[in-house]
Structure 1
Amino acid sequence: MKIIREIYIACLCIYAISSCQKDLGNYNYSELNEVAIAALDSNYSLLRGDRLTISPQLSYTQNADTNLFTYEWRYNGPTGDQGRTDSVIHTGIALNQIIDWDPGNYHMYYRITEKSTGIIYTKFFTVAVGELGYEGWLLLSDIGGQSRLDMLNFIDGETFIPQIDLLAAMHSNVLLEGSPVSVNRGFNPFGHQLYVVTSKEGYHLRPASYQTDVPGVIHLPLSALIPSSASLGFADARINMNIFTDYIYTNGGLYYRNYDVHNTVNHTVGPINTNAENQRYTMSPFFATTGNVFNPQAILFNTEEKMMYRFLGLPGIISDPLTINGLDMQYYDLVFMDYSTYNGGYVFAVFKDTRTRLYQLAQFNMNGRLAFLGQIDGPEIDEAKLFTIHPDWGYLLYAANGKIYEYDLGTRRTSLMQSYTGREISYLAFPKMLTPSFPSFFTSPNRNTQYGRRLIVCTYDENNPATSGDIRFYTVPTLNRPFVSLQSYEGFGKIVSVVYNEK
């Protein structure tokens, strides 16, 4: 029996093997015609009304006949709006379509479907859409002695799209005449204030359309707000606009506009460099204002008496002497002064001693309490034209001969931070944003505040100022560590003024 069982098992094995061999020829196997999608990025950015062109590169493992597939470009609405049904915006291998969507971030995907099997190949990407002129950095450039307004249009996060000659792109009726002075942003109860100042005029533009043909007194040009300067022009103008409050220096006078205090919307009061005897005194073009609607004070420097004056922002035009114990300015010339939010708010003033030719930095509050006085022994300080104060660390930064130096009040040392070989620096500042005064007025207060802590540096090539201008953004760390470069954009003119158009 044992032998019979073994023979039986052997026969079964032979049958099984022979069955398998025969079964191999009973099936017809075929490989999938897989599709690989290349040359399709994960993110695209554009302005509303621009054309989005994407030409993906497709490769097939078997048959490259494109008629065997369908091709769809789809989106599911703005980011976070998952309740919207998928929509097909285009069918075809490539996408070439004008995007007229509301500003926002759109989830999109490219879907290829094999007709015979229904197998789907998909690649996802995001499209960020911005609005021309709506939000972003406004740049005022010098183009051969004439003014041009450019813009970095905000798209998403750290993404901006440059627009050369914004007024032409917006079909504005404004033609800027004269050399550029400044671009300024403010706000009052009647709406946003946007002024582009040239040597000939201060143009008030509506931020949405950038037009001037708007009825109403709140859209008056500077020549109407300050009639005494209409024939003189505004080449020396320095302006600080904020929430409800504007300070405008021009032709030796500092003028004031405050809706709450003076109900001044269609005019200014001043000049406020007027003493208690109602006599106008000569002041430096540098002045400091808090930018706070609840404390709209200003500090002025009387160049005749060599002392500070303070205007309280109250009804009237009188400014009074401000005593600063420990600061003798008898032999000082003021070369820079500004207000900074550093450590609760201080005025920073840089003086040149006419006897020693040395430079001094003074830090004091709006009440005249001196917090710091020290000599600046940094290189090339005597050739510095541009200064700014870090709003968090209190560093004094100055630019000279294509270099940026940083003076640390704590160590009283000056460090070379940046050098731009073969280029000149035309603008240096930490931008002053409107948001901190009234965050509820603006749609993105956190982003706006973040931008206010970035150093802006604009440079150009003296041999080609009309097209060599650039703008660079940095983070300035503590402990005099190197600047951290964030973004840079080029192809502008000589940029002389920058402001963020907050929304």
Structure 2
Amino acid sequence: MKHLFIYLLAFIVFTSCYKDKGNYDYHVINHWTVENFDSTKGYTVLLGDTLKINPTLKWSNDPNPSDANYNYAWSFRYRPSSNLPFIDTVIGTDKNLNAKINLLPGNYSLAYRVTDKSNGVTFQTRTNILVSSKNFEGYMVLNDVNGKSRLDMLAYSKGTGLFTQYTDVLKEMNSNLPEQGKPRQVLCMNYVGTNITPLNYGIFLLTETGTNRIHQETFAYEPTMNIRYLMVGNIANDFKADVLTGENPSPTTVMFYMYAKGNMYAYSTLYGYAFRNDPINVYAAASAPFKVSPYVVTDGTVGVMYNTDKRCFVQAANFNSSFVADVVAARNFPTGLDLVWMERSYNSTSRSVYAVLKDPVTAKYYLLRFPIAGAQTLFKEITAPDFAQATSYAVSPDVNYLFYSVGGKVYEYDFNLGTPTTTLMIDKGNSTITYMGFPHFYNSFVAANANTYKLWATYLTVGTYDPAGTPGANGTLECYSVPEISKPLVKTMGWTGLGKIVSVAYRER
């Protein structure tokens, strides 16, 4: 047995050392090098324009390459919506790309694949493509021009850091939205999540003619974009909103409150994707609505309104609330006053709510501050000069000053001091301040835009109208940074040639 084992071991060693005389055919891979192809910064192309990329290909084993020896494929990789899989769409099969781009504006991944026909080996590289448009993002300015609405746009380019002004952007984009009457408001924000539709962004135009959305990319209009198609029930054809207030705390969570004909209506993407037909300004389901102020604030869940009949604050406890309750006494809110103005400081750290109230007996004005679901943190009389003549109000989200306008003047009221101070900041002479506010950027949670939007949210935005000027060209929009210690405002941006500015919103990305 021992000898047998030795023989077997010797045989294994002998056969393992035997020279392999197999017929193996080795090939050197023809590696590539790509030049004139920016895989780091990518490319930007306007919707409808031609994207041209002319890469230089160098091959390790083919000094004089012929296109006939290779197959080429350029393809976009994207997903139609967040709940659908990615798809590849081939847009070119030549060495160089020369393709008209009709994809909706957004960021896309572009793959470039080259296959060596001699061995079937495929090489691939990728880059990012930003499909943009002249109306990609920017300030939307709703003007009154001779009693009609005109929407202008100050389009911003991230690439250049510059704005391009489009007077009557609906005409510029060949929009088919019918002519609209006197303007009320423009609002730009998501109205559903991308998990529902990639066309989830709402550019809402509120006018005396009606309340409509326009297509988020082309600005086209269809009758189904009327606000009635976001409501439940048998809605009258002439229904229109007076004020639309919204909050977008996450990419898929949206809350709206709509004030129309003296009532308030609620909408939440967490509860039905539509405005309920019954107004929310009631104390119990099916009870008669009370008279409610058009001012409402929300964090996407809680909503705070004002009962003008009882002169008290009321609250909708949740996104699915169908009625409200008076704010509890423990929160120490004032009662018996008239609400003049209310707004939430959406882009501040505290996100406090500020309200201006007036005593109907003494005619004194008061400033109230409170967290949206907590007790008030400030309630004091406003002692600013000419405050009774003020027409617009705004609170700085970072330095907490109250601004108010009277005619062509803007005042800064520092209520944080033991003895408040008032400083004249802007004096436009015979012109009138028709709009004033701090922009609300709803998508500041998007990392790519957060720093820019958060900075612009601190700019006091002022619309001025010169009644002696040419209608449609006598409006000015200016943005100011607000220093501390009541130092003079610093103008950061400005545009002329606008109309009588009624409302301003920012079309975000």
Aligned equivalents of 1:426 and 1:286: distance in 2? 18
Which residue does the alignment assign to 1:439?
A: 446
Secondary structure in structure 1 of the residue aligned to 2:377: strand
Q: CA distance change for structure 1 residues 297 and 327 in 2, over 3 Å: closer, same or farther?
A: closer
State the structure with more CA Rg: 1
Aligned equivalents of 1:281 and 1:49: distance in 2? 49
Q: Deviations over 1:367-396 (max 9, x none)?
A: 341111111111211111111111112211
Single out whichever of 176-185 and 272-281 deviates more from structure 2. 272-281
**In the alignment, is the contact (CA less than 8 A) between 2:345 and 2:353 conserved in 1?**
yes
Q: Deviations over 1:146-178 (max 9, x none)?
A: 001110011246410100011111011112321
Structure 1: segments with no counterpart, 5+ residues: 1-46, 51-75, 86-99, 105-128
Q: Aligned letter for 1:381?
A: F
Question: Which of 139, 142, 146 is matched with 1:137 structurally?
Answer: 139
Q: Does 1:352 align with 2:361?
A: no
Aligned equivalents of 1:182 and 1:241: distance in 2? 16
Question: Which of 162, 168, 171 is matched with 1:168 structurally?
Answer: 171
Q: CA distance change for structure 1 residues 328 and 213 in 2, over 3 Å: closer, same or farther?
A: closer
Aligned equivalents of 2:57 and 2:150: distance in 1? 42
Aligned equivalents of 1:193 and 1:282: distance in 2? 28
**In the alignment, is the contact (CA less than 8 A) between 2:241 and 2:259 conserved in 1?**
no
1:354 positional shift? 1.4
Aligned equivalents of 1:489 and 1:235: distance in 2? 29
**In the alignment, is the contact (CA less than 8 A) between 1:310 and 1:319 conserved in 2?**
yes
**In the alignment, is the contact (CA less than 8 A) between 2:140 and 2:151 conserved in 1?**
yes
Q: Does 1:210 align with 2:219?
A: yes
1:276 positional shift? 2.5
Aligned equivalents of 2:479 and 2:267: distance in 1? 32
1:433 positional shift? 0.6
Q: Deviations over 1:430-457 (max 9, x none)?
A: 0111123x426xx523222222221110
**In the alignment, is the contact (CA less than 8 A) between 2:395 and 2:401 conserved in 1?**
yes
Question: Which of 438, 454, 457 is matched with 1:430 structurally?
Answer: 438
Aligned equivalents of 1:463 and 1:268: distance in 2? 45
Identity %: 27
Question: Which of 149, 152, 162 is matched with 2:151 structurally?
Answer: 149
Q: Does 1:298 align with 2:306?
A: no
Aligned equivalents of 1:229 and 1:458: distance in 2? 35
Question: Which of 366, 371, 374 is matched with 1:365 structurally?
Answer: 371
**In the alignment, is the contact (CA less than 8 A) between 2:185 and 2:502 conserved in 1?**
yes
**In the alignment, is the contact (CA less than 8 A) between 1:238 and 1:249 conserved in 2?**
yes
Single out whichever of 347-356 and 130-139 deviates more from structure 2. 130-139
Q: Does 1:379 align with 2:382?
A: no
Q: Aligned letter for 1:171?
A: N
Which residue does the alignment assign to 1:221?
A: 226
Q: CA distance change for structure 1 residues 368 and 167 in 2, over 3 Å: closer, same or farther?
A: same
Q: CA distance change for structure 1 residues 362 and 84 in 2, over 3 Å: closer, same or farther?
A: farther
Where in structure 2 are the equivalents of 1:186-201 lying within 5 Å?
186-187=189-190, 188-189=192-193, 190=197, 191-201=200-210
Single out whichever of 182-191 and 301-310 deviates more from structure 2. 182-191
Q: CA distance change for structure 1 residues 352 and 158 in 2, over 3 Å: closer, same or farther?
A: farther
**In the alignment, is the contact (CA less than 8 A) between 1:311 and 1:319 conserved in 2?**
yes
Which residue does the alignment assign to 2:279?
A: 271
Q: Does 1:286 align with 2:295?
A: yes
Q: CA distance change for structure 1 residues 285 and 185 in 2, over 3 Å: closer, same or farther?
A: same
**In the alignment, is the contact (CA less than 8 A) between 2:281 and 2:323 conserved in 1?**
yes
Q: Aligned letter for 2:150?
A: R
Secondary structure in structure 2 of the residue aligned to 1:281: coil
**In the alignment, is the contact (CA less than 8 A) between 1:378 and 1:415 conserved in 2?**
no
**In the alignment, is the contact (CA less than 8 A) between 1:459 and 1:469 conserved in 2?**
yes
Q: Does 1:492 align with 2:492?
A: no
1:407 positional shift? 1.5
Aligned equivalents of 2:153 and 2:362: distance in 1? 44
**In the alignment, is the contact (CA less than 8 A) between 1:199 and 1:233 conserved in 2?**
no
1:250 positional shift? 1.3
Which residue does the alignment assign to 2:402?
A: 396
Where in structure 2 are the equivalents of 1:9-24 lying within 5 Å?
none
Report the count of equivalent residues. Answer: 380
Q: Does 1:159 align with 2:172?
A: no
Coordinate RMSD, CA, aligned: 3.2
Aligned equivalents of 1:309 and 1:409: distance in 2? 25
Aligned equivalents of 2:303 and 2:298: distance in 1? 4
- TM-score of the superposition, structure 1-length normalised? 0.69
Aligned equivalents of 1:417 and 1:165: distance in 2? 31
Which residue does the alignment assign to 1:420?
A: 428
Q: Aligned letter for 1:445?
A: A
1:312 positional shift? 2.1
Secondary structure in structure 2 of the residue aligned to 1:370: coil
**In the alignment, is the contact (CA less than 8 A) between 1:435 and 1:449 conserved in 2?**
no
Aligned equivalents of 1:466 and 1:150: distance in 2? 10
Secondary structure in structure 2 of the residue aligned to 1:444: helix
Aligned equivalents of 1:486 and 1:264: distance in 2? 39
Question: Which of 268, 274, 280 is matched with 1:258 structurally?
Answer: 268
Which residue does the alignment assign to 1:319?
A: 324
**In the alignment, is the contact (CA less than 8 A) between 2:245 and 2:297 conserved in 1?**
no
Q: Aligned letter for 2:322?
A: I
Q: CA distance change for structure 1 residues 270 and 347 in 2, over 3 Å: closer, same or farther?
A: farther
Aligned equivalents of 1:463 and 1:228: distance in 2? 46
Q: CA distance change for structure 1 residues 230 and 386 in 2, over 3 Å: closer, same or farther?
A: farther
**In the alignment, is the contact (CA less than 8 A) between 2:302 and 2:317 conserved in 1?**
yes
Q: CA distance change for structure 1 residues 316 and 413 in 2, over 3 Å: closer, same or farther?
A: same
Q: CA distance change for structure 1 residues 323 and 414 in 2, over 3 Å: closer, same or farther?
A: farther
Q: Aligned letter for 2:267?
A: R
Q: CA distance change for structure 1 residues 335 and 471 in 2, over 3 Å: closer, same or farther?
A: same
1:345 positional shift? 2.1
Q: Aligned letter for 1:384?
A: A
Which residue does the alignment assign to 2:339?
A: 334
Secondary structure in structure 1 of the residue aligned to 2:170: helix
**In the alignment, is the contact (CA less than 8 A) between 2:138 and 2:506 conserved in 1?**
yes
Q: Aligned letter for 2:431?
A: R
Q: Aligned letter for 2:390?
A: A
